[in-house]
């Protein structure tokens, strides 16, 4: 009988709900500050993952192209070898820019040293590719550095609302402060959840960009040496494998 009365009293008592929905719409009315903060963090998170995925795909394409350079260097001419590479790719762009620079220098006469002109043209081509790969990384860096502060703003507002509730009620009862304090903790967590992947993604993409940049610089140097030497200097990968020496035929047995 006693347990039945306690259960009935618990059901009759008003139930206070706490959750993300109640944080965004307390008392049925929108909490504009919480909604705005959560929206900004959501935009930051979506943008970070979009940049991380798209840049990772771009880097992978360039890294895979490095395996097809053997056919380029083994071709009779650089133009024929460049034609074997896929169009609109990083290595094809550098090779085509090198060939175009060679043709342009032929129209200048002796006004400019060929090496300087080719080197500058290839450097511009590298810089354009590296600039493309670095696009969006500044957004990741910005998100990684500012997202915790956006979450901290929501934290400050939540604590402020808790203090207002305490002042209005005149008592620091748990039902008055649980909601605003919980809101502040959720905002802090959201800021960290958005910032950590952005920082990790930025460092990861930067390391891969450095590797891609080194490979492109090496290829650009090879193209420069090939053009200036008229094809006499090319990477070691272009050298054909030496044919195996023919084994001497066994001597015929001497007749007794």
Q: If you search the block for the tokens 């790969």, which residue do you land on?
A: 133
What value does the mean pLDDT take over residues 138-156? 91
Top-confidence residue, 239 or 175: 175
**pLDDT average, residue stretch 56-71:** 89
Residue 237 carries which DSSP code? Answer: G
Shortest CA distance to 198 belongs to which of 37, 36, 38, 47?
47
Alpha carbon of residue 207 to chain centroid: 10
What pLDDT is stored for residue 217 in this prediction? 94
Q: What is the pLDDT of residue 50?
A: 96
Q: What is the dihedral of CA 101, 102, 103, 108, to 10 degrees?
A: 90
- Burial bucket for residue 188 (CB in 10 Å: 0-12, 13-18, 19+): middle
Q: Which residue has the tokens 């993952």?
A: 49
**Res 147: pLDDT:** 94
Cβ proximity of 169 and 176 under 8 Å: yes
pLDDT in tens, 101-122: 888 877 776 656 778 888 899 9
* pLDDT tops 60 at residue 8: no
Check whether 254 has a pLDDT greater than 60.
no
pLDDT at 13: 39
Q: What is the pLDDT of residue 36?
A: 87
Give pLDDT tens digits for 151-173: 888 888 777 777 777 777 666 66
pLDDT band at 94 (very low <50, low <70, confident <90, very high): very high
**Mean pLDDT for the stretch of residues 28-51:** 88
Mean pLDDT, rounded, of the chain: 80
What is the torsion angle, in degrees rounded to the nearest 10, for the CA atoms of residue 138, residue 144, residue 146 and residue 150? 140
Task: Read off the pLDDT of each residue in 190-218 and give the average, rounded to a whole number.
Answer: 95
Model pLDDT, residue 22: 61
Q: What residues contact residue 184 under an 8 Å CB cut-off, 6+ apart?
A: 154, 155, 156, 157, 158, 159, 162
Higher-pLDDT residue of 41 and 35 is 41
């Amino acid at each position: 009988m006693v347990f039945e009365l306690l259960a009935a009293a618990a059901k009759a008592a008003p139930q206070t709900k706490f959750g993300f929905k109640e944080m965004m719409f307390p008392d049925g009315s929108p909490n504009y500050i919480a909604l705005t903060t959560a929206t900004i963090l959501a935009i930051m998170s979506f943008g970070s993952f979009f940049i991380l995925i798209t840049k990772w795909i771009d880097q992978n394409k360039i890294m895979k192209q490095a395996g097809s350079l053997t056919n380029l260097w083994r071709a009779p001419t650089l133009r024929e070898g460049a034609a074997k590479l896929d169009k609109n790719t990083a290595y094809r762009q550098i090779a085509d820019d090198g060939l175009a620079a060679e043709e342009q220098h032929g129209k200048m006469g002796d006004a400019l040293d060929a090496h300087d002109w080719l080197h500058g043209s290839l450097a511009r081509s590298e810089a354009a590719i590296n600039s493309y790969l670095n696009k969006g990384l500044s957004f990741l860096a910005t998100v990684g550095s500012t997202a915790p502060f956006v979450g901290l703003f929501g934290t400050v507002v939540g604590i402020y609302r808790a203090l207002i509730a305490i002042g209005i009620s005149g008592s620091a009862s748990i039902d008055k402060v649980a909601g605003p304090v919980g809101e502040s903790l959720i905002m802090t967590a959201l800021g960290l959840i958005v910032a950590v992947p952005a920082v990790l993604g930025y460092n990861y993409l930067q390391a891969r960009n450095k590797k891609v940049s080194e490979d492109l610089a090496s290829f650009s140097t090879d193209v420069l040496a090939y053009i200036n030497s008229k094809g006499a200097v090319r990477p070691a990968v272009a050298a054909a494998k030496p044919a195996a020496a023919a084994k001497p035929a066994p001597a015929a047995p001497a007749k007794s």
